[in-house]
Amino acid sequence: MQRTRKPKYPGKNILMDHAIEPLVEHLITKKWVRKRLNSAKLPGFDVVSPIVELLRKNPNDIYEVGELLADEDQHISSQMVSIFSTAAIHSECREQVLSFLLQKLKDDNPKFRINSLFVFGNIVLHGVNIAPAIPEITDRLKDPNYEIRRAAGETLLGALEKIDISIAVPNLTKSLEDVYDKVRDIAATTLYHAARKGVDISIAVSNLTKNLESHDQSVRIQSTLALGEVAKHGADISQAVPNLVKFLSDSEQAVRVSIFALIECIKTANINTLELITKEVTEFIGSDWYHSQGELNTESYVRAVDAVATIMDVVRSRMNKEEREAA
């Protein structure tokens, strides 16, 4: 009698058989999608593409299926982020996806709010216009959940290359006072890149200056970069100079960004501030800091020398101007 060998992992075969079960269009319900996502937890299965194809044919089902965006099962909610991120790229269901996400940005369930932000952050990188959502995304910078506040900042950072986020500057400025380093870090980073795009962030100068004293190095670096950029556009950052010159004895990265900000500060600084910068940068050039770090600091050293030369030119120009005006 021939014996039939049992499969070593019968449960796995059952899951695989179920996962590759043909899709049936009329089954596109929340219960069915959840069951399908659950049965496809094994690696190697693409459940996103076929479900997106069904949603393209039945876009109004997005509102029911979208409830899984806040599913208690992290695997399912993560898969739904991927499904919605992909679906929004397609014109057939983009309107429904964006409408649903806008609603859920204000939902009492924090999983809806943060996962909606993740989807917005994904789709803007694929050229989807999320401008109508910017006010609601900006409001999430005041969310009671710090992870959502951070996610809102990251979404705005990703959006600013394609969308005007000027409306978010006041809330980003307020975020610089957040108790969490990661929230302040993303706020300073977003403000820096916004300033590079020509957005006026001058109202943030005071809060950026306060963040130069942060114990978190990334917060200090990003705040310094933002200050340098806003100074480049004519804002007065003299109040930041006492802290900026302290960075001349910090890490190589801190030295570089500090000198960048100080050079930009020269444009609007008064004589007293220029004298302070000249004194501190000159001492930096003559200190043991550069020599103790070896050749790694050549760039900072050269920039510091250039900074002193630039400062002296400005000081002489200002003094000559004052002498002419006095005469």
Q: What is the pLDDT along the chain (327 residues), one digit of tens a residue?
A: 455 444 444 444 434 444 444 454 555 788 888 888 887 666 656 788 889 999 999 999 999 999 999 999 998 999 999 999 999 999 999 999 999 999 999 999 999 999 999 999 999 999 999 999 999 999 999 999 999 999 999 999 999 988 999 999 999 999 999 999 999 999 999 999 999 999 999 999 999 999 999 999 999 999 999 999 999 988 999 999 999 988 887 777 888 888 889 888 887 788 788 888 888 887 877 776 656 654 455 666 677 677 777 767 776 776 677 666 766
- Count Cβ atoms below 10 Å from residue 250 Cβ, excluding itself: 15
Residue 162 to residue 131: CA distance in whole angstroms = 9
CATH fold label, 129-235: Leucine-rich Repeat Variant (1.25.10)
Residue 259 to residue 256: CA distance in whole angstroms = 5
Q: Where in the chain is the domain with CATH 1.25.10.10?
A: 129-235
Residue 269 CA neighbour count, 13 Å, CB half: 28
